Structure 1
C-alpha cells in the first residue's frame, strides 16, 4: 500500500493516525494461534458462527486486533480487556489506557484498523457490490440522494460507496451507533483529495471539528476514516 505520511519533524499541531490492514483468510495453523489469544467471551462467539469461514474470519480479525493493540501497550494480547459504550463501541480498559483510540472494520476478506493516541475515530471498509434496491433513498440525506440520482450510471456505484463508507466512519467515530441518523449530516461524494463534512446537525457538533479521509484499499473496496481532530491537521500512516 502507498502511504500518506505525517511531517518528519515532531509537531504538536500535526497528528498521525496509524492504519493497519490484513487479510481475514488465514491458514489453519495461524487461526489456531490467534484463537489462543481470545477471551472466553470471544471464543464463545466464534464457536456460535454457523459457517466455518465466518468463524475463522472473526478469529483472524479479533486475534490480530489483540496482537496489534498489545504491541502498542506492551501488554500480552490475551490480557487486554475491553468495555463498550451504550451504543456498542469498544474501548480499552487495560492498564488505564482508555486514551488509546482504535476502531476496527471488516468486509469480505479484508480488515482495517485505525489507532490514535489523540483522537476519537471511526473507520469503515466495504467491498463494492451491485445493488438492486434503493439503499441510498433509505439512509442518505436529500442532498446526497439528489447528487447520486444526477450521476451517470457507471459513476453511481463508486459514488454510493464513497458516501456510505464516509458516513459509516463518521457514525463510528461519533460513537452513537445507529441512534445517529445517517441523514443528519452530509458528506462529499466525489474523489477529491481534500474532504470535509458539508453539513452537520448543530445538536451534534461543528463540521470543522472533524477530519474525513479516504483510505488506500485494494481494488474493489472503498474505505474511509473520520476523526474528531478539532482542526488539527492529520495524516495517515499505513502499517503492516
Structure 2
C-alpha cells in the first residue's frame, strides 16, 4: 500500500490524469474533495505506471462492469496488475498486487446514523455494535464498513452487491468473512486484513484467491518526486524506489 494525504495535491499532478478524471475532478465543488480526488488518482497512476514501465500520463485504465458489461466499475490497468484505491478524511491509500485482485478502503471515523447501520449491517453485526460502549460504536461501525467495502472492491462487485449480504467478524476480532448471502458469492477464497490508517481513520484490505502480505510505503514522497520529475523532464524516470520496494506477489 502507498499512503498519502490531501496535502499532497499539487496542480502539476493534474497532468497525470486522463480527460475523464480531470472532468470529474472539476465537477467536485469542495476544494478538499478535489484535493483528495487528485491525490488518489495521481498516486494510483504513478504506482501502476512505474510497475508497468510506462509514463503515468499515458497509462490506460479500463473499467468493465461484471454485471452488465458497461464501461463502468473497477478501473483496471493492463496486464496482471491488481489495483485499488480509496480516500476519506485526509487519507489516501493505493493498493497494488501482482496476479491477484485486490480491494482497499479507508474511512474517517465519524458519527453514523442508525438507519445506515440497519441498511448495511446484518442482524448479528448490529447486535455486536449495539453492545459496544457508545464511544466505541463509531469506530466499530467503520471497521465493519471498511472490511465489507474492501471485499466488494476486490471482487469487482462494488456496491452492486448490498453490503448487508456480507457477514464479517466483529470489530475486535481477526477480519474474516463469515457468510455471503445470495447466489453470487465468489468461488475463490477471500482474504481480509485490517490496516493502520493513522489517527482518526480505519482501513481494510482484501484479496481474491491468494493471500497477500501488506506492506506500507510513502506515497507522499512518491508524488513529490513525480512533481519534481514533471518540472525537470530530463530525469522523468526517477519516480519511485519500486525496484527495492515491490509489492508482494501472491
TM-score (norm 2): 0.78
2:167 is the alignment partner of 1:189? no
Instruction: Decide whether aligned partners of structure 1 residues 100 and 138 sit closer, same or farther in structure 2, where only a CA change above 3 A counts.
Output: same
Q: Distance in 2 between matches of 1:70 and 1:165?
A: 26
1:70 to 38, 42, 49: 49
Q: Distance in 1 between matches of 2:77 and 2:117?
A: 34
Structure 1 gaps, min length 5: 1-18
Tell me what 1:234 maps to. 212
Of the structure 1 ranges 137-146 and 40-49, higher mean CA displacement relative to structure 2 is found in 40-49
Q: Distance in 2 between matches of 1:190 and 1:49?
A: 33
1:108-127 CA deviation, whole Å, 9 max, x = no partner? 22101111112111110000
Shift of 1:207: 8.5
Which structure carries more strand by proportion? 1
2:21 is the alignment partner of 1:42? yes
SS of 1:205's equivalent?
Answer: coil
2:160 is the alignment partner of 1:179? yes
Kept after mapping to 2: 8 A contact 1:199/1:207: no
2:75 is the alignment partner of 1:81? no
2:117 to 125, 130, 136: 136
Q: Paired residues, what number?
A: 212
Tell me what 2:75 maps to. 90
2:183 is the alignment partner of 1:198? no
SS of 1:219's equivalent?
Answer: coil
Shift of 1:208: 7.8
Structure 2 gaps, min length 5: 66-71, 219-250
Tell me what 2:40 maps to. 61
Tell me what 1:20 maps to. 2
TM-score (norm 1): 0.81
Instruction: Decide whether aligned partners of structure 1 residues 73 and 203 sit closer, same or farther in structure 2, where only a CA change above 3 A counts.
Output: same
2:202 is the alignment partner of 1:222? yes
SS of 1:160's equivalent?
Answer: helix
Kept after mapping to 1: 8 A contact 2:106/2:146: yes
Kept after mapping to 1: 8 A contact 2:103/2:152: yes
Q: Distance in 2 between matches of 1:146 and 1:36?
A: 48
Q: Give the superposed CA RMSD.
A: 1.9
SS of 1:92's equivalent?
Answer: coil
Q: Distance in 1 between matches of 2:31 and 2:135?
A: 36
Structure 1 segments, 4+ long, off by >6 Å, are none
Q: Distance in 2 between matches of 1:56 and 1:206?
A: 35
Q: Relative contact order (alpha carbons < 8 A, sep ≥ 6): 1 or 2 greater?
A: 1
